[in-house]
Amino acid sequence: MSFTLAIVGRPNVGKSTLFNRLVGKRLALVDDQPGVTRDLREGAARLGDLRFTVIDTAGLEEATDDTLQGRMRKLTERAVDMADVCVFMIDARVGVTPVDEAVADILRKRGRNVIVAANKSEGRAADGGVIEAYSLGLGEPIRLSAEHGEGLNDLYAQLLPLSEQFSERDRTDTPETDVSVDDEDGDDDIRVPTPDKPLQVAVVGRPNAGKSTLINKLLGEDRLLTGPEAGITRDAISVQMDWNGLPVRIFDTAGMRKKAKVQEKLEKLSVSDGLRAVKFAEVVVVLLDAAIPFEQQDLRIADLAEREGRAVVIAVNKWDAEDDKSEKLKMLREECARLLPQLRGVPLVTVSALTGKGLDRLQQAIERAYDVWNTRVTTAKLNQWLSGMVEAHPPPAPSGRRIKLRYMTQAKTRPPGFVVMCSNPEKMGASYSRYLVNGLRDTFHMPGTPIRLYMRSQS
């Protein structure tokens, strides 16, 4: 029994306050300035014995479509479409305004189940507004005080019959949550995320690379706002989605820089936010702007992801704006190999976040990178491989005594890490290690992923 409730209404009526009450944590921002909370925000809500998902929406004002308000209006429409039931909130102390009427219009056109809530109705000052709320023609309004927690019983009473209706619906369609494990030959153990543990992806990149646009497009909804307006709050830190049954959680680093106002500050912040996101993530998507690829900041973040041992995918965005695509792609591949040798073979995918072109390939690359990151190779295969490598190219012989490689095993996954038992490990040198790492990559199909190689002497 699960359903989604969206709280809609114009700015400052108290939507976030109700959201906080239902979720029980201070996830949403509350502020006296209209329009502070502008993103869709999801939370797991409780009301009595009811459990459901609550969406806190943007406020909206009457405006044309390419203004900020216009886009917020669109966002509200999306929320209504996503929801099973909407709480339409007005400010009972103000009464019904033309903007409220506009929201009511949307709800009449699209909403299935609407509960009208006249908020801020503690005390007598609200009486007039509560009565006015009947005039919206959307049913009997409930008197609510989100701030004081009054009227929640009435909200519960209106929700209960609806929730029974939804659970009836859930019983009749059976969801499929079958996740198959790719384990064909029985020994290479590839782990696949279970439905309750989504694949964690971070999208990192310079400001304006198109991170928000990309995440929006992947979500298929304008869940985050993008654009040049200053002060847009993007504090949705992560969003969850479903790729053909694979649950994926994407960390929105754009959202982590909501407080920055000045451009230079943005540059700095986006690096440290990137660091945070990298730590959360299993797969890091480094989003480049095709017009200015492989800038210093891009390289730093890719290197950081490698050092943190994350799976990496390079996505080159704004590919729609490129003219000579094949020449450009050749150049990009060369630069990638030259500038990121530590991530040899890293998948490089060209995308247009704007048009959505290439996003299916990006999703595949992310899933593949995750699988590679989880690669496990049996000890038998490794040792067979090792003797071949030594035969083809013997280890160095510092001061006349050749280093002996005795034995090898995989010590860890995520990322793959291998231990080589040998004599004089400290004299092995970087180039022989690199030879082994590159050999591992090629033979066991581990492009792009960080690979750790530990040389140990037998004690």
Give the residues lining the site for ligand GDP (CB under 6 A): 9, 11-17, 30-32, 37, 59, 119-120, 122, 145-148, 205, 207-213, 226, 254, 317-318, 320-321, 352-354
Residue (36 or 246) nearer to ligand GDP, CB? 36
CB of 367 to ligand GDP, least distance (A): 21
CB of 253 to ligand GDP, least distance (A): 8
Residue (252 or 455) nearer to ligand GDP, CB? 252
Between the CA of residue 351 and those of 91, 318, 365, 415, what are the distances in Å?
A: 44, 7, 12, 26
Write down the residue that tokens 């009972």 correspond to: 92
Residue (353 or 405) nearer to ligand GDP, CB? 353
Residue (76 or 145) nearer to ligand GDP, CB? 145
Burial of 73 (C-beta count, 10 Å sphere; 0-12/13-18/19+):
buried
Residue (1 or 271) nearer to ligand GDP, CB? 271
CB of 89 to ligand GDP, least distance (A): 7
CB atoms within 10 A of CB 207: 16
**Residue 383 to residue 60: CA distance in whole angstroms:** 64
Residue (209 or 248) nearer to ligand GDP, CB? 209
CB atoms within 10 A of CB 362: 22
Contact 114, 84 (CB under 8 A): no
Residue (267 or 308) nearer to ligand GDP, CB? 267
Helix residue spans in 134-189 (DSSP H): 152-172
CB of 116 to ligand GDP, least distance (A): 15
CB of 333 to ligand GDP, least distance (A): 19
CB of 276 to ligand GDP, least distance (A): 16
CB of 286 to ligand GDP, least distance (A): 12
Burial of 24 (C-beta count, 10 Å sphere; 0-12/13-18/19+):
exposed
E strand or H helix at 330: helix 325-339
* DSSP letters for 194-236: -TTSPEEEEEEESTTSSHHHHHHHHHTS--S--SS-TT-----
Residues contacting residue 173 through CB under 8 Å, at least 6 positions apart: none
What strands, in cross-sheet order, belong to the sheet with 417-422? 405-412, 417-422, 452-456
